[in-house]
Chain A
Amino acid sequence: MVKLEALVAGGGGFIGSRLVRALLARNWSVRVLDVQYGDLENYRGKLEFFGVGSDDLRGGYG
């Protein structure tokens, strides 16, 4: 079976991080788009992160 891949925008947050872990448990590949690692600090090696360290509100448009 082909491995499914998901992007979770807001994946570092309270609900998002639980969803990310549930997807990993179901053998999905998971990417996270968030400004922070948040609750996924311990999962950094298992996930591909986008946007960490940025600030969309104060950084203006990229």
Chain B
Amino acid sequence: MIYAGGMVDRNTVKKAVKGVDVVYHLALNWDGATWKHQNPIPDLFDVNIRGTFNLLEEARLEGVKHFLFASSGAVYGNGDLEVVDEESPCKPELFSGEPGPAYGILKFATERLCLLYYHVYGLPVTALRIGYVFEPPSKGEIHVEDVVQAFLLATLNRKAYGQVFNVACEPTVSTRKIRENLGWKPKFTSRTYKVHPLEI
């Protein structure tokens, strides 16, 4: 039997959030474990927007201490800037990487919804704009353990509330903000080209 009992189901989310101190939102309904979008884009937006709202609403009502969201470097699109920092313009509709611009727009939209709950309700929210993650990383990619470190450093850290941080690979993406504010120091700088693609 197929049923919607994940983040789209408000009762499931209510039970899952009840009593927790911190919510990490890394969930994405796409095409299972692929980077494609064979499902209709409106359907993808329906479930992901609704699911994000369910998590945010329950976090707000439950008085969760910190809500951390896995955003994406795809929100910047593919501009002509040499280096993007958190203040750079976002044009996710121009994102040409996998799984396409709809993913960038979805991540941007859901990131902004999370920040809405910070500004309107005072829910402590942090968004990490994560770059391409591989294990081990090659040039231009970031190691998954460095992403985990970024989440842990941000957790329950007041300097992270209401903030967006790049978590990616220098030099095309600036990580100055997270390094200077949260003390993030990526440990892995491997140049190995064996890759392990993933999705978040």
Contact = CB atoms under 8 A, between A and B. Distances in A.
A57 B29 contact: yes
A23 B26 CA distance: 15
Contacts of A57: 29, 39, 43-44, 47
B13 A18 contact: no
B59 to A, nearest CB: 9
Interface in A14-48: 14-16, 18-19, 22-23, 26, 31, 33-35
B28 interface: yes
B12 A62 contact: yes
Given A14-B200, A15-B26, A33-B12, A6 B20 contact: yes
Interface string B8-39: 11111101110111111111110000000001
A33 B144 contact: no
Contacts of B3: 53-55, 59, 62
Contact of B133 (A6, A9, A14, A55): A14
Best-buried of B16, B28, B152 by chain A (most CB within 10 Å): B16
A10 B70 contact: yes
Contacts of B2: 54-55, 58-59
A22 B144 CA distance: 12
Interface in B119-147: 130, 133, 144-145, 147
A12 to B, nearest CB: 9
The 8 closest A-B pairs by CB, nearest first: A54-B5, A10-B27, A62-B9, A10-B26, A14-B198, A59-B4, A9-B27, A56-B8
Interface of A: 4-11, 13-16, 18-19, 22-23, 26, 31, 33-35, 50-51, 53-62
Given A50-B12, A62-B5, 13 more contacts: A4-B21, A8-B26, A15-B70, A19-B148, A19-B151, A33-B7, A33-B12, A53-B3, A54-B3, A55-B3, A55-B4, A56-B6, A62-B10
Interface of B: 2-13, 15-17, 19-29, 39, 43-44, 47, 50-51, 55, 70, 130, 133, 144-145, 147-148, 151-152, 198-200
